[in-house]
Chain A
Amino acid sequence: MTLPAPKTVIADARTDSSDTRVTVNIALSGDVDVDRIKRTSTGYAGETAGRLGRLAAGVASDGQVHYPEPDFTANGPWLVLAPLSGVVSTVATGIGRVVVTLDHDATTDKQLQRLDQRISALLDSVRPSHNHYPVEEDTQGVFTTGMTMFNLDSIEVGEKLTATFNVSTTPATDRSTIESQFESVENVEDIKYDQLVGVERAAPSVHLREAVESAHRTVYGDWEYEWLPTPGVFAEIPGAEKMALGTGSPESTEFSEEQYESCLEALQTTLSNIEEDT
């Protein structure tokens, strides 16, 4: 068994954070709930097992792990460990929030059927659609990762009907595309949209890009890019010299020893490439 005990990983990650001799910084996308992770005969299991496995790979590498809080003032490039199934990322989608107010006074209009129709119309208007792709069945995000997506957060019914949606945004998202989404809905009085976190598009140097791409070609035979589905720590890191990589998938509650080894190999090869070319 290669994988260290969960609490050992956390302790080592905290120690690693104070080692400032290394010039490549490693951050983790998401928190680890170590008390709810078990080490099994094949890897880690638990809601944040993937994060722990990637953190363990970071600790075992020669980079400087920043855990739990990254020191954003640190010098050097950043590698963010994320559930990317062995691909690379330089882009994270953004987050917005839209509040749609409808002229519907539930204090005087007691017809539940009409209320139901208005809520249905709102939900229908934000359902994803595409001319060519089956986006409604896209549970893996093959297509929807690149689409403006709405997720109902709350509905308030009173003198007005107010629906609040969390929005996953892309570079193509703007206020007019958000507003046009509700064009077909009757009785819309007001639409308020706030971009909370913009799309983050890093512009790493050729040096860093080559190190990461070459490492992935070495380990996986090819290099591929995909977007991070949430901004997270990637968007918080200031500057352009950053890329994300890692194994595992976002929804999985298991992280295998093979995924750990593969993540470590890609990370270690990347670090070697950076060092060789420096």
Chain B
Amino acid sequence: MRTVAEPIEGTEVRVEPADSPGIEINGVSVSINSVSKADVRVDLVDRAVSVSADRTRSFVVEHALGPLGLQGVTAANVVGIRNEWDFARPEHRFCYSAKLSPACVVGHPAGLPNPRLSEALGRVELIERDPQPRQTVSKPVSFSANGGDIKLCPREHGAGIRFKIKYGEADIVAEVDPRGETDETLIDSVTNSTTPYLSPNNGEAVTHAVADLVSDIAVIGGFDDLVVEADLTEAYHALTIGAAKKAHSSDSVERRSS
């Protein structure tokens, strides 16, 4: 596992070291089973609690999880630190209505994959210990949703994830190792690109999408070595989370130690 040696802060979040593998957001373990919403954004809840006690929801988690995956962090406790309302944000209105704190919203206010967090992660010492098995798919997994298509294909152990993403007329190919090192120029470009809903063009949107797919497929889905081919449309988290869910539910996850 790789964790931060000391706490760091990004926009809206603080990232603290973890003693065991895995990432938590506001105390909820990040996994495919904790996803409560996946369309224009991804929200997580603690499935162990009943709905009435369900004040565990964290909103727009992809903006925190994307930078963690891009920087190869596999163990961390992410804590929301926002304490002021911005009611222009639908997620803040949700929290105000449901008597949740604004700290539940860990997404970036400008729709960015938290460049300040990514920079801090790039500077802080990462502690690596207790190697964990890496995961791929045992066979190709295809999924379609909201007019988009995605295919997850097996890849050799330790190769990382090759993303081949298309959004409108724009496309991008990116190599990311969610348990290791990824090209800094790519990380910088991805984390400074705005979400498709706010992007000035599809080129920036597809660059942003790399962080979203790292979040959904690698960090939430738990995959490390894949070739991912995705043709994205609106609300594509239904597609990316859906594909990861399908891989898990169809018994297609392959764990491999070096």
Contacts and interface: CB of A to CB of B under 8 A. Distances in A.
Interface of A: 88-91, 130-135, 142-147, 170-172, 201, 203, 206-207, 209-210, 213-214, 217, 222-227
Nearest to A142: B90
Interface residues of B, number: 23
B51 A217 contact: yes
Nearest to B194: A132
A216 to B, nearest CB: 9
Interface string B70-104: 00000000000000011111101110111100000
Contacts of B88: 130, 133, 135, 143-144, 146-147
B87 A147 contact: yes
B235 to A, nearest CB: 13
A145 B93 contact: yes
- Closest CB pairs A-B (n = 9): A146-B87, A210-B52, A225-B97, A132-B110, A225-B94, A143-B88, A90-B97, A214-B51, A91-B97
17 contacts: A88-B97, A89-B97, A90-B98, A91-B93, A91-B96, A132-B109, A133-B198, A146-B86, A146-B92, A171-B85, A172-B85, A172-B87, A207-B52, A209-B52, A213-B52, A214-B52, A225-B93
A171 B96 contact: yes
Contacts of A214: 51-52
Contacts of B90: 142-143, 145-146, 226
B37 interface: yes
Contacts of B92: 146
Contacts of A207: 52
Contacts of A143: 88-90
B203 interface: no
A274 to B, nearest CB: 12
Contacts of B110: 131-132
A213 B86 CA distance: 24
A225 B198 contact: no
A49 B186 CA distance: 52
Interface of B: 36-37, 50-52, 54, 85-90, 92-94, 96-99, 109-111, 198
Nearest to B98: A225
Contacts of A201: 96-97
B207 to A, nearest CB: 18
Contacts of B86: 146
Nearest to A89: B97
B200 to A, nearest CB: 10
A226 B93 contact: yes
B51 A210 contact: yes
B101 to A, nearest CB: 14
Contacts of B89: 143, 146
A206 B99 CA distance: 11
A214 B90 CA distance: 21
A59 to B, nearest CB: 27
B24 to A, nearest CB: 21
A90 B97 CA distance: 6
A132 B93 contact: no
B43 to A, nearest CB: 8
Contacts of B198: 132-134
Nearest to A218: B51
A232 B110 CA distance: 33
A275 to B, nearest CB: 16
Contacts of B51: 210, 213-214, 217, 223
A141 B236 CA distance: 22
Contacts of A213: 51-52, 54
Contacts of B87: 146-147, 170-172
Contacts of B50: 210
Contacts of A142: 90
A201 B52 CA distance: 19
A130 B92 CA distance: 15
Nearest to B94: A225
A227 B93 contact: yes
Given A91-B97, A132-B110, A143-B90, 11 more contacts: A143-B88, A145-B90, A146-B93, A171-B85, A206-B52, A209-B52, A210-B51, A213-B54, A223-B51, A224-B94, A225-B98
Contacts of A130: 88
Query: Most chain-A Cβ atoms within 10 A of its Cβ — which of B52, B85, B88?
Result: B88
A226 B97 contact: yes
A207 to B, nearest CB: 8
Contacts of A91: 93, 96-97
B94 A226 contact: yes
A134 B199 CA distance: 10
B37 A222 contact: yes
B120 to A, nearest CB: 21
A66 B72 CA distance: 58
A145 B51 CA distance: 26
B12 to A, nearest CB: 13
